[in-house]
Chain A
Amino acid sequence: MSTAPATAPTGNPSRSRRDDVPAPTIPAPAAKSSRSRRDNIHGWAFSAPFLAFFLMFLVWPMISGAVMSLTGKSLTGASSGFIGLANYTEAFADQDMWRSLGNTLYFTLISTVPLVVIALALAALVNMGLPAQWLWRLSFFSPFLLASTVVSLFFAWMYNPEIGLFNDLLAKVGIPPVAWLNDPSVAMWAVVIATVWWTVGFNFLLYLAALQNIPQQHYEAASLDGAGGWRQFFSISLPQLGPTTVMIVILQILASLKVFDQIYQMTEGGPGGATRSIVQYIFEAGFTGYRLGYSAAISYIFFALILLIALAQVFTTRKRIA
Chain B
Amino acid sequence: MATTTLSKPALRPKGTADIVPNRRPKTPLSRILATVVVSVLAVAWLVPFAWATATALKSETDAASTPISWLPASGFTLDAFAKVLQSGNIPTWTLNSLFTSAAITAITLVISASVAYAISRVDFRGKRMLMGVIVASIIIPPPVLIIPLFQQMQSLNLIDTYWALILPQVIHSPMVFVLKKFFDQIPRELEEAALMDGAGRLRIFTTIVLPLSRPILAAVAIFVFIGAWNNFLWPFIATNESSLLTLPVGLQTIKCAYGIQYAQNMASALLAALPLIVVFLFFQRQIIRGVATTGLAGT
Cβ contact within 8 Å between A146 and B276 = yes
CA of A143 to CA of B298 in the docked complex: distance in angstroms? 19
Determine if A173 is an interface residue (Cβ-Cβ < 8 Å).
no
Cβ contact within 8 Å between A61 and B237 = no
Cβ contact within 8 Å between A1 and B229 = no
Query: A227: which B residues are within 8 A, CB to CB?
Result: 16, 19
Size category of the B interface is 35 or more
Query: B86: which A residues are within 8 A, CB to CB?
Result: none
Cβ contact within 8 Å between A157 and B31 = no
CA of A4 to CA of B3 in the docked complex: distance in angstroms? 9
Cβ contact within 8 Å between A321 and B4 = yes
Determine if B78 is an interface residue (Cβ-Cβ < 8 Å).
no
Known A-B contacts A50-B111, A65-B148; the reply to A260 vs B21 at CB < 8 A is no
Cβ contact within 8 Å between A68 and B273 = no
Known A-B contacts A145-B277, A287-B237; the reply to A153 vs B147 at CB < 8 A is no
> Which residue from chain A places its CB closest to the CB of B17 in the assembled complex?
A225
CA of A149 to CA of B149 in the docked complex: distance in angstroms? 23
Query: A287: which B residues are within 8 A, CB to CB?
Result: 150, 237
List the one stretch of A89-97, A182-190, A303-311 in contact with chain B.
A303-311
> Which residue from chain B places its CB closest to the CB of A215 in the assembled complex?
B10
Cβ contact within 8 Å between A54 and B171 = yes
Query: A47: which B residues are within 8 A, CB to CB?
Result: 114-115, 118-119, 127, 130
Cβ contact within 8 Å between B124 and A1 = no
CA of A260 to CA of B206 in the docked complex: distance in angstroms? 40
Cβ contact within 8 Å between A2 and B6 = yes
Interface residues of A (CB under 8 A from B): 1-5, 7-9, 11, 13, 16-18, 21, 36, 39-47, 49-51, 53-54, 56-58, 60-62, 64-65, 68, 73, 122, 125-126, 128-131, 134-143, 145-150, 152-155, 157-158, 162-165, 168, 197, 202, 205-206, 208-210, 213-215, 218, 221-229, 235-236, 239-240, 243-244, 247-248, 251, 254-255, 257-258, 260-261, 265, 279, 282-283, 286-287, 292, 295-296, 299-300, 302-303, 306-307, 310, 321-322
